[in-house]
Amino acid sequence: MNSSSSNQSEFDYLFKLLLIGDSGVGKSSLLLSFTSNTFEDLSPTIGVDFKVKIVTVGGKKLKLAIWDTAGQERFRTLTSSYYRGAQGVIMVYDVTRRDTFTNLSDIWAKEIDLYSTNQDCIKMLVGNKVDKESERVVTKKEGIEFARKYGCLFLECSAKTRVNVEQCFEELVLKILDTPSLLAEGSAGTKKNIFNQKPPQADASAGSCC
Ligand SMILES: Nc1nc2c(ncn2[C@@H]2O[C@H](COP(=O)(O)OP(=O)(O)O)[C@@H](O)[C@H]2O)c(=O)[nH]1
Ligand SMILES: [Mg+2]
């Protein structure tokens, strides 16, 4: 019926991870680089709901459902369902465009706080396009300071050369595995919910009718 129902026994945990950040920073490229080991010059409008990748990290077999936007971030119209149930969020900026860095604190970090349903959701700040070193305007130090202030992990990477791409996902997932409250959410009982993305209506209506 859905992509999670057929092979639930083949992994220990299912995690929902999100990619957010301004249009053009390289979210879709990072996802493609991670899931298919290739880099293509993508049309800026390309996007998917999510891609799935099975990885083994810390001795656990994990099914990662990684959500990407379909370009709607340009209009700042990501909905709460995009964020719902995520155990990890990757906040991406382009090291050659300062506005994409400042928008993370001005806009995207606020959206995470507003919509995130997991209080302990792990955040990872990612400065992408380090292959364009000569065009860099955001320093590594600034990234480190942002990450310290917002309590997130931090890495610089390039979807083009694939430097640090796997590490971005791996470090995020290792931290999730280290956070017991997130493991409860990603374990057997709630696997389907992550894919179905249904709001918890059953509970809400039962509570409000009497
Ligand atoms: N040089 C370079 N270009 C990149 C990198 N990542 C993405 N791009 C390019 O930046 C543009 C926007 O990338 P895209 O993945 O569509 O960004 P999105 O809008 O955040 O999904 C595309 O032309 C990509 O080819 C990178 O690491 N290095
Ligand atoms: Mg995209």
Is the pLDDT at 200 greater than 60? The verdict is: no
| Mutation probe of ligand 1 site: the residue of 19, 22, 29 with most atoms within 8 A of C-beta | 29
Q: Domain of 13: which CATH number?
A: 3.40.50.300
What are phi and psi for residue 200, nearest 5 degrees? Answer: -75, 60
Query: Is residue 84 in a domain?
Result: yes
The residue contributing the CA closest to ligand 1 atom 2 is: 129
Q: What is the per-residue pLDDT for 62?
A: 94
Ligand nearest to the CA of 25: 1
Instruction: Give residues whose Cβ lies within 5 Å of ion ligand 2.
Output: 27-28, 47
pLDDT tens readout for residues 69-82? 876 777 666 677 78
At residue 6, the 3 state secondary structure works out as coil
Evaluate whether residue 141 is within a structural domain.
Answer: yes
Ligand 1 pocket test: pick from 42, 69, 72, 128 the residue with the most ligand atoms within 8 Å of its Cβ.
Answer: 42
Q: What is the chain's mean pLDDT, rounded? A: 82
31 occurs within a structural domain: yes
- pLDDT tens figures, 119-157: 899 999 999 999 999 999 999 999 999 999 999 999 999
Number of domains comprising the chain: 1
Say what the pLDDT of residue 119 is.
86
Domain assignment present for residue 199? The answer is no
| Residue 202, in any domain of the structure | no
CA separation for the pair 154, 162 (Å, rounded) = 16
pLDDT tens-place string over residues 54-113: 999 989 999 999 999 876 777 666 677 788 899 999 999 999 999 999 999 888 888 888
Specify if 198 maps to a domain: no
Is the pTM for the entire model greater than 0.85? no
What was the pLDDT predicted at 198?
A: 44
Strand order in the sheet with 122-128: 50-57, 60-67, 13-20, 88-94, 122-128, 153-156
Ligand nearest to the CA of 160: 1
User: In this structure, is residue 209 part of a structural domain?
Assistant: no
Whether 4 has a pLDDT exceeding 70, the answer reads no
Q: Is 25 in the pocket of ligand 1 (CB under 6 A)?
A: yes
Check residues 197 and 169 and name the one with the higher pLDDT.
Answer: 169
- Please give the pLDDT value at position 196: 47
Q: Which domain holds residue 38?
A: 9-191
Residues of the chain with pLDDT > 70: what percent? 74
Q: Is residue 156 situated within a structural domain?
A: yes
Taking the C-alpha atoms of residue 69 and residue 83, their distance in angstroms, rounded to an integer, is 11
